[in-house]
A and B are shown apart, each in its own frame.
Chain A
Amino acid sequence: MTPLSPSHRPFRWRPDQQWEGYLFILPSFAGFLVFIVLAVVMSLGISFSEWGLTGFKNFAGLLNYRQLLRDPVFWQTFWNTAFYIVTIVPLQLALGLIMAVGLNQAIRGVTVYRLIYFMPVVTTIVAGAIVFRLLLATNGPVNNLLAAAFGLLGLPFSAPNWLGSSDFSKWSVVILTLWKNTGFTMVVYLAALQGVPKELYDAAHTDGANAWQRFRNVTLPLISPTTFFLFIFQMIGAFQLFTEPFVMTSGGPANSSLSVVQYIYLAAFRDIRMDKAAAMAWVLFIFIFAFTLFQNRMQKRWVHYESE
């Protein structure tokens, strides 16, 4: 995703900087070797082993992976995570863009609005989840408001059990995540919008383009690299949801909101099946990698880079 920009000067080896170079990177490299390189190798090894409470038992080949394929809960968590991705990512991009376009106008109070929209982003997600448990309780404020609104319209209303029914539990997680993260999308979009040259709008205006046409044909293509970045970033984030379902619904009821990472956590630290958990983590990685690669291929069709 990140092209290495060419060095601003041809690389000349400086013998006197050889050992210095190593010394400067040593602290970073030592930690990198242990907590990333060793960890990745171990994780792969564990996923191909039988690994119990006491550690390594024996080599197991693809056993853990084959067990996963036959585990209905594992498939359920992948389905749940797919649901999170297809709801959270587009909704967040759309809402964040609407907010950003709104704040990119010549109006008063932009700083205050931005302060408010971004507030949930700095909030500890656990605290956010606690409040949404209250807001979404069966007799909670959200249902009270909905009941009042339906009443005004004269429609029948049966209060949804947001947290306690399989039909709505995933939506509770989606709602919390949107509240928490949309401000982030907004800030990144706002920075991109401010980078669009004003002359382009003036030119489009002179050519008789109306506001929607200017947005559609000038703004959207010019900010498409940002959309691409946010899309990938939010997708990877949605693949790895953990805290939101963990605190809000504990993954329930009947695993209906359990995320993949939550299942990895339970397998490793509740069932002490480190081997199964490691295998799941690798399957997750392969999915993330494949989707990112796919999107990277697809971007030629819709992402517009100015240098092209």
Chain B
Amino acid sequence: MTTLSASPTRMSTPARVGLHALLLFFSTIMLAPFAVMFVVSLLPNTAFLARDFSPANFSLNNYIRTFEAVPFGRYYLNSVVVSVSVTTVQILISSLAAFAFARLRFRGREAIFLFYLATLMIPFPVTLIPNFLIIKNFGWYDTYLALIVPGLFSVFSTFLLRQYYRGIPLDFDEAARMDGASSLRIWWQIIVPLSGPVLATLAIFVFQGVWNDFLWPLVVTTSENMRTIPVGLAAFVGQYSTAWDLLMAGSVIALLPVLVIYVLGQKWFVQGIALSGMGGR
């Protein structure tokens, strides 16, 4: 009857109008920063500061100047290389381990898994400094290896996949073993195909996290050529702190592809995030 009812029930017209008004209000707040970003990116700084929004001022000039000032193409390449390799390899490695933890019977299995779980609580800042030193020691500082290798191992992904793999009946494995299939084959031809949706959502979740990661790439890179998009963008702020025209154009360039992919694949993104909630269950 009123907007407060928590179940999908039929609402009266005034209640529906009121609810839409509220939801539109929230939408405006969520969208306004994107709108401002886009509009300002099309205006010369002088026009924006004078609040002169006459259409004659609009142009793509800022985008050309931004690309001239900053190697965004290179940042993109770095972000794509790092995110794609971390996502693919992390999921492969985690899936192999999760398969063993869930379906192979070997001594020490439960103890090792408990050891994994015990480290889930450790916050990132604790391992940040030693990992930086380890990377330096390996001679990987300011290389792709520094950006990629530490991300290939994830206790969280392993844990999540193990929980899922435990739900698949063990009879599948037994039957395949009767037919002479090896464990590797069972993993690749039975378990992985059966976990398609969970792998896809996990992939989106991991990809998103790596793509937007800031602190680690900030710490292990120094040259302009090794920056990922967030780090490049932050350095850009340092150089042009109030050149709003260029900063907004840079932000649009950084965001546009991600937003397009998000709008096209909304369902998977939302599931990927909801998935992180499963870890707490």
Seen from chain A, the residues whose Cβ lies within 8 Å of a Cβ on chain B are 1-2, 5, 7-9, 11-14, 17-22, 24-25, 27-29, 31-32, 34-40, 42-43, 46, 98-99, 101-107, 109, 111, 113-128, 130-135, 141, 179, 183-184, 187-188, 191, 193, 196, 198, 201, 211-212, 214-215, 218-219, 225-226, 229-230, 232-233, 236, 239-240, 242-243, 246-247, 260-261, 264-265, 268-269, 274, 277-278, 280-282, 284-285, 288-289, 292
Using known A-B contacts A40-B122, A119-B259, A126-B230, determine if residue A229 contacts B277 with beta carbons closer than 8 Å: yes
Which B residue sits closest to A288, measured CB to CB? B123
Which A residue sits closest to B24, measured CB to CB? A113
Task: Determine whether B223 belongs to the interface, using a CB cutoff of 8 Å to chain A.
Answer: no
On chain A, the residues within 8 Å of B195 by CB distance are none
Does the CB pair B126–A105 fall under 8 Å?
Answer: no
Does the CB pair A25–B130 fall under 8 Å?
Answer: no
B116 CB → nearest A CB, Å: 7
On chain B, the residues within 8 Å of A103 by CB distance are 23
Could you tell me the distance between the alpha carbons of A7 and B167 in the complex, rounded to whole angstroms?
Answer: 10
Does the CB pair B274–A134 fall under 8 Å?
Answer: no
Does the CB pair B30–A201 fall under 8 Å?
Answer: no
Could you tell me the distance between the alpha carbons of A104 and B263 in the complex, rounded to whole angstroms?
Answer: 21
Using known A-B contacts A40-B127, A119-B259, determine if residue A125 contacts B214 with beta carbons closer than 8 Å: yes
Which listed residue (A8, A122, A193) contacts B208, Cβ 8 A? A122
On chain B, the residues within 8 Å of A106 by CB distance are 8-11
On chain A, the residues within 8 Å of B149 by CB distance are 31
Which listed residue (A8, A101, A187, A247) contacts B237, Cβ 8 A? A247
On chain A, the residues within 8 Å of B158 by CB distance are 28
Could you tell me the distance between the alpha carbons of A203 and B156 in the complex, rounded to whole angstroms?
Answer: 40
Which listed residue (B7, B208, B262) contacts A119, Cβ 8 A? B262
Interface core residue of B27, B101, B149 (most chain A CB under 10 Å): B27
A148 CB → nearest B CB, Å: 13
**What are the interface flags for B248-281 relative to A under an 8 Å C-beta threshold, 1 for contact and 0 otherwise?**
1011001100110011001001100110110111
Task: Determine whether B239 belongs to the interface, using a CB cutoff of 8 Å to chain A.
Answer: no
Could you list 27 examples of A-B contacts with CB < 8 Å? A18-B106, A31-B150, A32-B153, A35-B134, A36-B127, A38-B130, A39-B130, A40-B119, A43-B127, A107-B20, A109-B20, A118-B270, A124-B233, A126-B234, A126-B254, A131-B36, A131-B251, A191-B277, A243-B214, A246-B214, A246-B234, A260-B125, A264-B129, A274-B133, A278-B129, A281-B123, A285-B123
Using known A-B contacts A101-B6, A106-B9, A131-B33, determine if residue A43 contacts B166 with beta carbons closer than 8 Å: no
Using known A-B contacts A24-B96, A126-B230, A131-B37, determine if residue A211 contacts B1 with beta carbons closer than 8 Å: yes
Additional A-B contact list (5), CB under 8 Å, known A122-B258, A130-B233? A24-B104, A102-B23, A124-B254, A179-B29, A242-B215
A109 CB → nearest B CB, Å: 8
Which listed residue (A14, A123, A130) contacts B106, Cβ 8 A? A14
Could you tell me the distance between the alpha carbons of A54 and B97 in the complex, rounded to whole angstroms?
Answer: 37
Task: Determine whether B219 belongs to the interface, using a CB cutoff of 8 Å to chain A.
Answer: yes
Does the CB pair A27–B96 fall under 8 Å?
Answer: yes
Could you tell me the distance between the alpha carbons of A25 and B280 in the complex, rounded to whole angstroms?
Answer: 23
**What are the interface flags for B1-25 relative to A under an 8 Å C-beta threshold, 1 for contact and 0 otherwise?**
1111111111100001001101100
Interface core residue of A117, A127, A219, A281 (most chain B CB under 10 Å): A127
Does the CB pair B93–A198 fall under 8 Å?
Answer: no
On chain B, the residues within 8 Å of A101 by CB distance are 3-4, 6
Does the CB pair B105–A13 fall under 8 Å?
Answer: yes
Task: Determine whether B67 belongs to the interface, using a CB cutoff of 8 Å to chain A.
Answer: no
Does the CB pair B153–A2 fall under 8 Å?
Answer: no
B247 CB → nearest A CB, Å: 5
The 5 closest A-B pairs by CB, nearest first: A31-B153, A21-B106, A24-B100, A28-B97, A42-B130
Which listed residue (A32, A233, A280) contacts B116, Cβ 8 A? A32
